Structure 1
Amino acid sequence: MLTYHRITSIDDPYFKPLHELLGTIFPPEEVLAYELWREPLQDPSIHVYAALLGDEVVGSTEYRYYPELRVAMTDFTIIGKPSLGVGRFLMRSRQKDLERLAAESGTVPIGMFAEIYDPYRAAIHEFGGVSPMNPIVRREVLSHMGYKKLDLAYVHPSWDHEGAAVSELDLGFLPQNEELNEIDASLVATFLTGYYSALPNKPAEWVTMIEKLKGMEKVALLPL
């Protein structure tokens, strides 16, 4: 039976296998160094959960809810072993927790952001560790869930603190109202500025993207 375990410290015995799992799933520029997790995990607004099968970490998800913006962000969802129902378990557990967070803040969510690899644009897309985490599979699953992509040439600062522009992703959004076909550009700019405030080195491409968003009214939501 899978259990949903919150990790709030790098001293948690389940954090080391979780961090190792991250390293097998994502490219190096997408993984924050081990010791640099210490402070974020102590932030009560950052929710990192491991899916445990007994004492084994078989998956994990990280997410946040921004009540002032009425949006959530899924930092990652990873599956370590196939055929255990890990993905469904994490999705449902996360949704229940986000509903709790929204209710406690007295807000009604608009939707949830996620950065989604475009394997057709990436130079290398063999990473993923296990078959369910292959970028092509993940993208299709997220599309089936209802995620759309913002009509935006998206880049983000690399998580290795080198300040490189990572450009092989789309910024996705799962609208609460599936008929929604655009989102306020100011909301996107405010969200991204806050989300990446922890990274001091911003590439010029990211700064340009934010300035462009500030000059727009709406951003279209396109099929993923």
Structure 2
Amino acid sequence: MEYRRITSIEDPLFVKMHDLMKEVFPPEEVLEFELWKEPLEDPGIRVFVAVHQDEVVGATEYRYYPDWNIAMTDFTIIGRPGLSLGRFLAQNREKDLNELAHANGKELFGMFAEIYDPYQLDDHEFGGVKPMNPFVRREVLSHLGYKRLDLSYVHPSWKNDGEAVKGLDFCFMPKDEAISEIPAQLVSDFLTTYYSVLSNKPQEWVQMIEEINNNTGIKLLPL
């Protein structure tokens, strides 16, 4: 199995990856094909696919932010069971991020991720792909070390229609497991930057950011 980076919508592997995304994720979570052009060409956005027998069977997108020394996992797709894809993607992603942090003269502080909470919403089928079941994914990510931030989380729909997407937790995986709180300013700055590409923010999101800014720290709770 190969771990291949995609940097252009012209790459045939991207067509396969985008098709896989549409099979697995709900529509509001999938950026339109043409809108991927600039993100893929951005050196700070890292999109990799797992290629098995010339097919894209998994994918992950993530970013490293040198100023904050943190990363964000945008998504991870397990498209086929029985290939240890979760471990393959996680290990290769970790290796890549550690190299980026070391090049920045630091040890990675940690990584953010949005994680579905099936106890809030239970209507995500994820294309019938069993490894993508949100109950399974939540436990796997907990095993990896992710903890949920102590806040009621929403995010702007990637359709940029001003709707608030609910049913997720915003989580953080600290490299140091002893860390039980992270700076509220880091959370606010990160989310504001991360969603700056979307011009149409829902009021619920704006209020959430205001509430974060009213705190000095955000607790990390068990996932």
- Normalising by structure 1, report the TM-score: 0.97
- Matches of 1:215 and 1:152 in 2, distance apart? 12
Question: Which residue in 2 is equivalent to 1:155?
Answer: 154
The number of residue pairs the alignment matches comes to 223
Question: Which residue in 2 is equivalent to 1:121?
Answer: 120
Unaligned runs of 5+ in 2: none
Question: Which residue in 1 is equivalent to 2:172?
Answer: 173
Give the Å deviation of 1:109. Answer: 1.7
Unaligned runs of 5+ in 1: none
Q: Aligned letter for 2:125?
A: E
Question: Which residue in 2 is equivalent to 1:141?
Answer: 140
Per-residue CA distance 1:94-142 (angstroms, 9 max, x = gap): 0000011101111222110000000110151333541000111100111
Per-residue CA distance 1:166-208 (angstroms, 9 max, x = gap): 1110001101111111110000000001100111110011111
Question: Which residue in 1 is equivalent to 2:47?
Answer: 48
> Which segments of structure 1 move beyond 2 Å, counting only runs of 4 or more?
125-129
SS of 1:41's partner is: helix
Per-residue CA distance 1:23-81 (angstroms, 9 max, x = gap): 11111000001111011101000000000012100100000011111110000111111
Q: Aligned letter for 1:16?
A: V
CA contact (8 A) 2:2 2:52 kept: yes
User: Is the counterpart of residue 81 in structure 1 residue 91 in structure 2?
Assistant: no
SS of 1:60's partner is: strand
Identical amino acids, percent of aligned pairs? 61
- Normalising by structure 2, report the TM-score: 0.98
1:13-52 matches, within 5 Å, as: 13-52=12-51
SS of 2:9's partner is: coil
Q: Aligned letter for 1:146?
A: G
User: Is the counterpart of residue 130 in structure 1 residue 151 in structure 2?
Assistant: no
- Matches of 1:128 and 1:71 in 2, distance apart? 31
Q: CA RMSD in A?
A: 0.9
Per-residue CA distance 1:127-168 (angstroms, 9 max, x = gap): 354100011110011111111000001110001111210111
- Matches of 1:161 and 1:108 in 2, distance apart? 35
- Matches of 2:127 and 2:178 in 1, distance apart? 32
